[in-house]
Amino acid sequence: MKILLEQIGRRFNREWIFKHVDYTFESGKSYAILGINGSGKSTLLQVISGALTSSIGNITYLLENKQIDVEEVYKHFSLAAPYLDLIEEFTLLETLDFHFNFKKRINNLNNNELVDLLDMQKSKNKQLKYFSSGMKQRVKLLLAFCSDTPLLLLDEPTANLDEQGINWYLDLVKSFGGNNRLVIVCSNQAHEYSFCDEQILVADYK
């Protein structure tokens, strides 16, 4: 997959969050979008995903050299982000079944294998509203990493994770962040993007 940003900019009211972003993202590489809190990292990621429109500029999506309409981009990416809510009335198993009605499972992993990856066998029939914030974050990350999509978007991926959870996240990166995927990470924590090939500073586009 390839994503081309041409003079992209986004503003709220009269304030520019960023502007004049020219960048190309390509499969097989990982990219870190960096900046302090409130700098516009998440906004840029949402523009890249098609969830937000840019105020100026053009964005082009190519998959196997064929252009994808922005309305169809959601089919080709998976996302883990703090602002992405889970359905808390679902159990863990129900969450897996629901999510993978819409996304293909990577390596055809079944529910038991996914629960094992989470190390949550004892919680598989528990509603998510009874999960800790760290457990919920693990579920979000698992759903994103284990969806068979060419584009993987991660916003503050280790939010609410302890040291053990951070190591678990890095293991996910090693296991499922390759396979010619395009990975984009929004972060201001070095351990979250240490594996990335390239870095983009939002402050360079103010």
Nearest CA-CA partner of 34 in 49, 20, 18, 50: 18
* Residue span of the structural domain in which 22 resides: 2-205
Q: How far apart are CA 145 and CA 49, in angstroms?
A: 16
pLDDT reported for residue 159:
93
pLDDT reported for residue 59:
96
Residue ranges in the chain modelled with pLDDT below 50: none
Distance from CA of residue 68 to its chain's centroid? 19
pLDDT reported for residue 78:
97
DSSP element (H, E) containing 170? helix 163-176
CATH number of residue 66's parent domain: 3.40.50.300
pTM (2 d.p.): 0.94
* Plot region of 7 (φ>0 → left; ψ -120 to 50 → alpha; else → beta): left
pLDDT reported for residue 178:
84
pLDDT reported for residue 11:
95
Please tell me the total count of domains within the chain.
1
- φ, ψ of residue 71 in degrees (nearest 5): -70, -15
